[in-house]
Amino acid sequence: MKIGALRETQEGEARVAVTPSSAAHLQKLGHEVYVEAGAGKAAGFGDEDYRRAGVTVEASAADLIGAVDVVAKVRPPSEGEIGQMREGQTVISFFYPAQSAALLEQAKDQGVTAIAMDMVPRISRAQKMDALSSMANIAGYRAVIEAANNFGRFFTGQVTAAGKVPPAKVLVVGAGVAGLASIGAAVSLGAQVYAFDVRPEVAEQIESMGAEFVYLDFSEAQTDGAATGGYAAPSSPEFREAQLARFRELAPQMDIVITTALIPGRDAPKLWTADMVAAMKTGSVIVDLAAERGGNCDLTVPDERIVTENGVVIIGYTDFPSRMGAQSSELYGNNIRHFMADLTPKKDGVIAHNMEDDVIRGATVTHDHAITYPPPPPKIA
């Protein structure tokens, strides 16, 4: 089959769905690989790099869509892009089907198969295709880099001839994929790192990474936000109050706060309140990775960097993976080519869209003129 990556059109999007190295893997599966001219430019891959990897460069989006069987993208396709696709063609990208009813209808009506990378089931076998995790990992790392760049001091403690410098104190709220990446990056820069999560099972992971788990003095222990399939559930009002009280104690001591707390299907919980920001030292930095879902901090403005009256920087950027376009494209390109490997079991360039396969079924949101979202729960953990 022929698979090709479109140039992303959303402003500021630096990623590309196929890189020269992922193209080589796709070719080993028996596919011919295409890209739209300039598709990799913002991520640091020139058209010549692709040509050297045996990729055909098409002049325009229309030419690319016309040439291939499978269109690969990062951002969800636009109505215009789906509109140019023909019956039997496949698009593979982030799709967010719960928020994209009109796009689902359009793909179904046109007989386009849509594969949503954000719907890959989070089961062990599918980890190599899990683009939510690969992007969250980058966002968590980049959050620390942004924080360090906005903090006027070292992260690491030092004893120098000019004076003794204490290590920066970093609090990470939410220790899922992004939070753990933040912990790793902050520890490696030499900070003293604290982390909190409603799921007590992450305490061991946090501690094994060299950070300190923040326990609550709460009679139900830290089990209230009980895990549901690895995700957090909303906390009881009492638990939330205990959590906020603990954060109020920590706020004046912390130099950096990185918030990543999310609950599936809901707005981000508000956990870092205006009074906590007011209690922080001048020069402290908050990076709110939950900004896109409303933010964990009361004062976060999505896509903005603001400075409060008391001199606290609050970063609400929502494009952290795109800020590391080369790295994100490399990992996203790998997620895509692993998915394509599942779709090409005989490595003969022939796609077998096996809807009995949990991973393919879970990620397929339209197929054969039907909307196939939401999928049934996966059979295997």
Contacts to ligand NAD by CB under 6 A = 122-124, 127, 130, 133, 136, 173-179, 196-199, 225, 230-232, 235, 260-264, 269, 271
Tell me the sheet residues that pair with 141: none
User: Which candidate in 93, 133, 134, 235 is catalytic?
Assistant: 133
Residue 345 in tokens: 């079991």
Say if residues 295 and 288 touch (Cβ distance below 8 Å): yes
Q: How far is the CB of 265 from ligand NAD (least distance, A)?
A: 10
Dihedral of the alpha carbons of 332, 118, 32, 345, in degrees to the nearest 10? 110
- Of 264 and 377, which has the nearer Cβ to ligand NAD? 264
Query: Bridge-partner residues for 287, per DSSP?
Result: 258, 315
Residue 220 or residue 348: which is nearer to ligand NAD going by CB? Answer: 220
Angle between helices 177-188 and 131-150 (to 10 degrees): 40
Backbone angles phi, psi at 344, to 5 degrees: -125, 65
Alpha carbon 164 to chain centroid distance?
A: 38
To the nearest whole angstrom, how small is the minimum distance from the Cβ of residue 259 to ligand NAD?
Answer: 8
Specify whether 130 is catalytic. Answer: yes
Residue 160, Ramachandran bin (φ over 0: left; ψ between -120 and 50: alpha; else beta): beta
User: Which residue number, 7 or 199, has a Cβ lying nearer to ligand NAD?
Assistant: 199
Q: How far is the CB of 18 from ligand NAD (least distance, A)?
A: 23
Q: CA triplet 345, 350, 356: central angle to 5 degrees?
A: 50
How many Cα atoms occupy the beta-carbon half-sphere of 241 within 13 Å? 5
141 is known as an active-site residue: no
Comparing CB distances to ligand NAD, the nearer of 197 and 288 is 197
Q: How far apart are CA 334 and CA 346, in angstroms?
A: 19
3-state SS, residue 362: helix
Q: Which of 106, 130, 317, 361 is catalytic?
A: 130
C-alpha dist (Å) from residue 278 to 107, 275, 310: 49, 5, 7
Q: 199 vs 338, which CB is nearer to ligand NAD? A: 199
Q: What are phi and psi of 71, to 5 degrees?
A: -100, 125
332 has catalytic annotation: no
The catalytic position among 52, 60, 86, 127 is 127
Contacting residues for 221 by C-beta, under 8 A, at least 6 apart: 200
Q: Is the CB of 29 or the CB of 271 nearer to ligand NAD?
A: 271
Active-site choice (69, 110, 118, 122): 122
3-state DSSP call for residue 111? Answer: coil
β partners of residue 32: 2
User: Which residue sits closest to ligand NAD, CB atoms considered?
Assistant: 176
Do residues 207 and 213 make contact, with C-beta atoms less than 8 angstroms apart? yes
Is residue 133 annotated as part of the catalytic site, yes or no? Answer: yes
- The reply to whether 109 belongs to the active site is no
Bridge partners, residue 114, by sequence: 91, 366
Nearer to ligand NAD, 127 or 158 (CB): 127
**Residue in 324, 329, 328, 343 with CA at minimum distance from that of residue 26:** 343
Report which secondary-structure segment, H or E, holds 196: strand 192-196
Active site residues: 122, 127, 130, 133, 231
